[in-house]
Amino acid sequence: MTETQPTWSEAESARYRAAGHWQGVTFGARLRQAGAEHAQRVALVDGDRRWTYADLDAEADRVAAGLRGLGVERGDRVVLQLPNCAEFVLAWFGLQRLGAVPVHAMPGHRSREIGHLVRLSDAVACVVPDLHARFDHRRLMSDVRAELGPDGPLRHVVVVGDPGPYDGFVPFDALRESGGRGPSAPVSDSDSADPDPGGLALLLLSGGTTGLPKLIPRTHDDYAYNARACAGVCALDTRSVYLAVLPLGFNFTFACPGVLGTLMAGGTVVIAPDPSPQTAFALIEREGVTLTSLTPPLVPHWTDEAASGSWDLGSLAVVQVGGARLPEDHARRLGPALGARVQQVFGMAEGLINLTRLDDAEDLVCTTQGRPASPDDEILVVDAGGRPVPDGTAGELLTRGPYTLRGYYRAEAHNRTAFTPDGYYRSGDVVRRLPSGHLVVVGRIKDQINRGGEKIPAVEVEEELLTHPAVTAAALVGVPDERWGERSVAFVVCTGTAPGAREVAAHLASRGLAGYKAPDEIVQVPGLPLTAVGKVDKAALARRSEG
């Protein structure tokens, strides 16, 4: 990390190493070891394509050599925006083998988000699909490249599939193939010293609260521990088969324990191209899946489809649900329907992961969001003045520990308020802690809408709403919703008649904003109510919308 990037103190680092949490091994080196130890075991399955651990290790060499051939170097940042396909994993490990830094983008991101990620991380390359969900990502990249200009950081666009007519776009397969030939290939560990395991391994995107979303620096040491701790809680071993249903770029899917935790245990990762229960259940039957993870809006669909009785889900042992609040009755129905144990997961890209345990009583599993993955996760629940409250009382969750960030990437000003002076991250989540250590999420004090697990930063959307010619003031609030848990309502002050939700969605899309950020509903108001200190009173607006 750069000198100005806040990080753990020497004393804390020494403690985390002594405890065995930080093992001093990079992801590139881990895959090399796994490639030898589990050589012939199946590591990755995508449709009819399968990679053993030895294959995956060799692919990482080829991708790394191909990237190096392009001019991508150790330490360079590369935005990864791929849907659920094996290439996500191949590109990720190729970057790790090279010592470059993947920046996780979501498939739904558009030019605004991707441009922001490239600028903020100074990314030299992006890896994208040709088309996904009928959207042309090559066009998106062409727009981003044009907007950044010839002096921008972005030098390469790698396309999984057909690179199209765009000048200089490189097909991912050509990269893999060229990486298998030539004098510089394959990259071997002896080509250059392994990167620092305490250094930057990847960048995750925060849900965002103030202005544009922030990047979260994760190190090899901390992220590997995140995955390993979760794998331990889920009792993963070489027989485990993980089904990746949610987007691979999501921290939950990738490392809680997800892809990385499964690969670190010598198990098999199966990729689902979409989250429908039909697609997933066919894969569960075919591959003997033992673990998967869902967001709450998927739960009723999975429960109903399982109840149809036409599937053999006997291999499935654990279903994780997280990312947003899971209604208790949905939790109670899911387990029996699937014949699997339910595990609630309350995590954040910033670090801290809470999980219910496999041997927790059903009431705990259905009514709490679990307890920290690590014995060295430190939790404080505090009142508005920052004073700890007794167990059972709601307060803001503050946390620090061996895999929770100490500062966002290149965000000095924001870091001054996002952390306490002694390094606790202010999560913005309101929780109650039970004497068992389990947390119940009861609310949020951050200005964000959680729409079924997708995080919508209110301020970012409000600023974009103001670019509509009719809108003079706007406030985005979350209100309870049967399907999404929460939906977004934009209260707007307008000259003349307010635009409808469709028109607003089209306007925001034309501005390059991801579709999931478009308000579900537009409500015209004569003025926005203010609190005593003159801020927009979002609580009052939310109450108005609830009726």
The residue ranges that bind ligand OOB (CB under 6 A) are 207, 251-252, 256, 322-325, 344-349, 353, 369, 427, 429, 441, 444, 450, 453, 455
Q: Strands of 200-205's sheet, edge to edge?
A: 169-171, 156-160, 125-129, 77-80, 101-104, 200-205, 215-219
Decide whether 186 or 478 has the Cβ nearer to ligand OOB: 478
DSSP class per residue in 148-167 = H-TTSS--EEEEES--TT-T
Q: From the CB of 162, what's the least distance to ligand OOB, in Å?
A: 31
Decide whether 430 or 473 has the Cβ nearer to ligand OOB: 430
C-alpha 448/C-alpha 38 separation (Å) is 43
Tally of CB atoms within 10 A around 495:
9
Q: From the CB of 429, what's the least distance to ligand OOB, in Å?
A: 5
Q: From the CB of 293, what's the least distance to ligand OOB, in Å?
A: 8
Decide whether 5 or 253 has the Cβ nearer to ligand OOB: 253
Task: Give the three-class secondary structure for 307.
Answer: helix
DSSP class per residue in 127-138 = EEESEETTEEHH
Q: From the CB of 334, what's the least distance to ligand OOB, in Å?
A: 14
Decide whether 156 or 444 has the Cβ nearer to ligand OOB: 444
E strands, 91-141, are 101-104, 125-129, 131-132, 135-136
- Using CB atoms, what's the residue nearest to ligand OOB? 347
Q: From the CB of 539, what's the least distance to ligand OOB, in Å?
A: 17
Among 225, 227, 255, 216, residue whose Cα is nearest residue 6: 216
Q: From the CB of 368, what's the least distance to ligand OOB, in Å?
A: 10
Distance set, CA 258 to CA 226, 241, 253, 438, 439 (Å): 10, 10, 5, 22, 22
CB 143 within 8 A of CB 512: yes
Decide whether 81 or 178 has the Cβ nearer to ligand OOB: 81
The identity of residue 289, as a single letter, is: V
Decide whether 111 or 251 has the Cβ nearer to ligand OOB: 251
Decide whether 187 or 227 has the Cβ nearer to ligand OOB: 227
The encoded tokens of residue 290 equal 């033992």
Taking the alpha carbons of 437, 442, 444, 445 in that order, is the dihedral positive or negative? negative
Decide whether 333 or 455 has the Cβ nearer to ligand OOB: 455
Q: What is the CA radius of gyration of the chain?
A: 23
Q: From the CB of 353, what's the least distance to ligand OOB, in Å?
A: 6
Q: Which residues contact 191 (CB under 8 A, 6 or more apart)?
A: none
Half-sphere exposure of 29 (CA within 13 A, CB side): 16
Q: From the CB of 109, what's the least distance to ligand OOB, in Å?
A: 13
Decide whether 142 or 450 has the Cβ nearer to ligand OOB: 450
The identity of residue 2, as a single letter, is: T
Distance of CA 277 to the CA centre of its chain: 21
Decide whether 443 or 500 has the Cβ nearer to ligand OOB: 443
How far apart, in Å, do the first and last CA atoms of the chain sit?
50
Q: From the CB of 26, what's the least distance to ligand OOB, in Å?
A: 22
Q: From the CB of 152, what's the least distance to ligand OOB, in Å?
A: 27
